[in-house]
Amino acid sequence: MDRGRILIVNSDRLAQKSLYEMLCRHEYKVDIADSVDRALNCLDENLYQVVLTDINETGGAELLREVNKRGHPSKVIILTSYGNIEAAVNSMKMGAFDYLVRPIEDRRIISSIERALSNPAPAETKPAFMKKVSTKDHTYYGLVGNSRPMEDIHSILERISNSKATVLLRGESGTGKRVIAHALHKADKRRRNRPFVEMSCGALPREIIESELFGHAKGAFTGAISDRKGRFELADGGTILLDDIDSLTLDLQVKLLRVLQHKEFERVGENRTIKVDVRIIVSTNQDLEKAVANKKFREDLYYRLNVISINVPPLRERKEDLPSLIEHFINTYSRENHRKIREISQDILSILTGYNWPGNIRELENIIERAVILDTDNIITKEDLPEIILNGNSYLNSGLGSKVIEAFSSLKNVLQEPEKVHILRILKEVGWNKKKAATKLGVNRTTLYNKLRKYNITSDPEKK
């Protein structure tokens, strides 16, 4: 069965063939047009969910204008080379769904297409504030950030999305494990339209948890005045997230093991066996191996849960995601509180980058919500931040200051600063050895040199 209809617009025969064969392998129905006029004829005659157009070869900007003008519902994804990114950015402002910069891995193209197909809202309905400050889609099924660790998580989710494998999410509190579970549910084509049910195993007493998980029959215990479905039954066909799985008592671990192995259980006070089809995701911020060694967690359950294990990095290890996370939270809380944040002051990003974020993304979200609410002039400044951020800030005490940060005032430009600060910090750590810096940053040397040119970094600013 075809997964969607895609129109490739490209005059390069080799590029046409490569894209066509790759998309056909992924079971898309694909047509090709080698000019804007032929593409428009195809769009007038057929309904395409996605248009892949090369801005360098076939006038992607012109095609995008015509698609918008004629009201075609297709999502337009722009393909471009590194030297033509500005034109691609302008296309995003005109309503393109995404742009991809060559060289492009097949999985990135498929990921962009899948997000376009799963997004019911047309690109032009993007909030006006996002159009102003954002030049690229930083989300993957709700996950914000495109750092190396997050790209790795995106890749894992893509590979396991349509499997039935149990997933164990591990990481500190506040790192976004719940959001990752939601993303996996949305990425699963067979379950995304079915329920997503979650429960914290550490938030409820033992006698309530069993009923919450498996349901109960009328009269099973005092207060059970009617039959009640449990979380597993409510999640049938979909996904269940069990947070703080380490808090589950040993007797309930036995019952959970049975659900994992046989997909069946009984309600409390009832003998009837209920079968369910549920994707199980569990999360913890504890050391499960230590819990197993201390006989507080069943070894057989641990191995059943640890089929796919995803380590969610703390925010301090993915600070390059700070710009997109901050932008996301500013947009979210500006809408919720009817504010119109236009700018952030030139030093805000540097201050937030210098902080160690013990509370991770949850702490960042709270800080940004507070700043948006307290703001009085639509510009977030240092005065909108709490003392804990200012007092515990390594940047403010590092002496980098004006030697590193240029006086940007627009949100768009300031949001680029943490990457520059991070690159400078790594270069300093390795004595400005660019080969070692590239390795430590997890990029190749060509990428590092491009970044250095972008930020006009030619030598150690502290030696000037």
State the pLDDT at residue 115. Answer: 85
Query: What would the pLDDT profile of 292-310 be if each residue is shown by its tens digit?
Result: 999 999 999 999 999 999 9
Q: How far, in Å, CA of 181 to CA of 159, rounded?
A: 14
- pTM of this structure: 0.58
pLDDT beyond 80 at 83: no
**Burial level of 97, CB count in 10 A (0-12/13-18/19+)?**
buried
Mean pLDDT of 66-87: 75
Q: What is the dihedral of CA 332, 335, 336, 338, to 10 degrees?
A: 150
Which architecture does CATH list for 148-311? 3-Layer(aba) Sandwich (3.40)
CATH 3.40.50.2300 domain span(s) along the chain: 5-126
CATH 1.10.8.60 domain span(s) along the chain: 318-463
- CATH number for the 5-126 domain, one of 3.30.1130.10, 3.40.50.880, 3.40.50.2300, 3.40.50.150? 3.40.50.2300
State the pLDDT at residue 100. Answer: 81
Mean pLDDT of 90-118: 82
CATH 3.40.50.300 domain span(s) along the chain: 148-311
57 confidence band (pLDDT: 50, 70, 90)? low
CATH number, domain 318-463: 1.10.8.60
CB atoms within 10 A of CB 111: 21
125 confidence band (pLDDT: 50, 70, 90)? very low
**Burial level of 226, CB count in 10 A (0-12/13-18/19+)?**
exposed
